[in-house]
Amino acid sequence: MARRLMLALIVALVISGLFTFWLSRKMARSRNPGQAPNRYVAAVRVVDPGETLKREDVSLVEWPKSMPLTGAFNKIDDVVGRAVLYPLGAGEPILDRHLAAAGSGIGLTGKIPSGMRAIALRSDEVVGVAGFLMPGTHVDVLVTYRDTGHPDPLTATVLQDAEVLAAGHQVQPDPSGKPASVDVVTLLLSPEDAEKAVLATAQGTIHFVLRNGGDHEQADAKPVALAQLASVPASKPPEAGPLAAPVARRPKVSEAKPWVVETLMGAKSSTESFN
C-alpha cells in the first residue's frame, strides 16, 4: 500500500512539473510575441568621414528588438553610395544622421545642410586664435573699418556663433587636440550671414573670436570707437560765450610820439622835444 502511494505521489509531481513548464513557456510567448532580433546595417571596418560606402564596407547585424534604433537601415542598398559625415567604428550600426543626403556628393559639400552655405575667410596665426580654430568650433566674426562719418576706426561684431566647417583643408579636428596654423577658415552660414561676411571682408580687417561651443546666446554688441579704449568722450567744439565790448589798447611808452615845442624870440627860434 505504501509503495502504491509513493508511486502515485511521484507521478503526480512529474505531471505537475511538466504542466508548470508548459504553462510558463506559453505565458512567456504571450507576453513577448515575435521576439526575433532586428537586423540593422552596420560598418564592418572603421570608416573615416568623407568616404563613400561600398557594399563590402557594410553588413547586417542582429540587434535586440526591445531596443530599436531610430534612423537605422534594414537594407544594405539604402546606404551604398552615400558619403559618411562622422567616424564609424567596426560593428557600429549606421544611422541616417551619419550619412550625407543621397546624391549630395562627397567631401565638404556633403557636410553642408540644406539651406546653408560654406564661405572661406582668410586669417593668420594670430587672427585665427593661434591655430585653435578647428572644425566644429564656434566663433564670432569682427571687422575693423573706417566710416566716412566718423574720424576714428570702428570695430563691430558682424556674425555670432558661426560654426567652423573646415580649417584649411582639414574637415576633422586633430584627435589629440593639437592646434594647426591655417590661413583660410571655412564657416557654415546662412545665405544672409554669408552676404554680411563678404561685405565685411571688403570693408576692413576680419578677426575671429573663439567662443564656448555650448554658448549660443546672441549678445547685444555695439561698435567700439578708438576713443572708447581709454574711456575718453569724443571731443566737442567749445561753446560760444557772450560777446565782450572791445577794449582799446594803450600804446606802450616806447611807441608814443614825442611832443615838439618851438619858441620864437625876435629873429631867433628854438625847439624842444618832450616825451
Look up the CATH number of the domain holding residue 50: 3.90.1210.10
Task: For residue 156, tell me if it sits in a domain.
Answer: yes
Structural domain total, the chain: 2
Q: Is residue 67 part of a domain?
A: yes
pLDDT for the residue numbered 243: 44
Domain containing 93 equals: 39-110
**Residues 117, 225 share a domain:** yes
Task: Tell me how far the alpha carbon of residue 145 is from its chain's centroid.
Answer: 22
Asked whether residue 199 is assigned to any structural domain, the reply reads yes
Q: Which pLDDT belongs to residue 31?
A: 56
Q: Are residues 226 and 116 in the same domain?
A: yes
Model's pTM, two decimal places?
0.51
| Confidence (pLDDT) at 237 | 45
Tell which of 87, 110, 133 closes a domain.
110
Do 140 and 95 reside in the same domain of the chain? no
Say how far apart CA 110 and CA 2 lie, in whole Å: 85
Same domain (yes/no): 156, 180: yes
94, 117: one domain: no
Query: Parallel, antiparallel, or unpaired: how do β-strands 205-211 and 224-225 relate?
Result: unpaired
Mean pLDDT by 10 residues, the chain (275 residues): 72 72 67 69 88 90 88 91 85 89 66 84 61 82 84 88 82 64 84 92 87 86 80 51 50 59 68 68
Select from 70, 86, 110 the last residue of a domain: 110
Instruction: Give dist(CA 27, CA 65) in Å, integer.
Output: 19
pLDDT at 189: 93
User: Which grid coordinates are listed for 99?
Assistant: 550619412
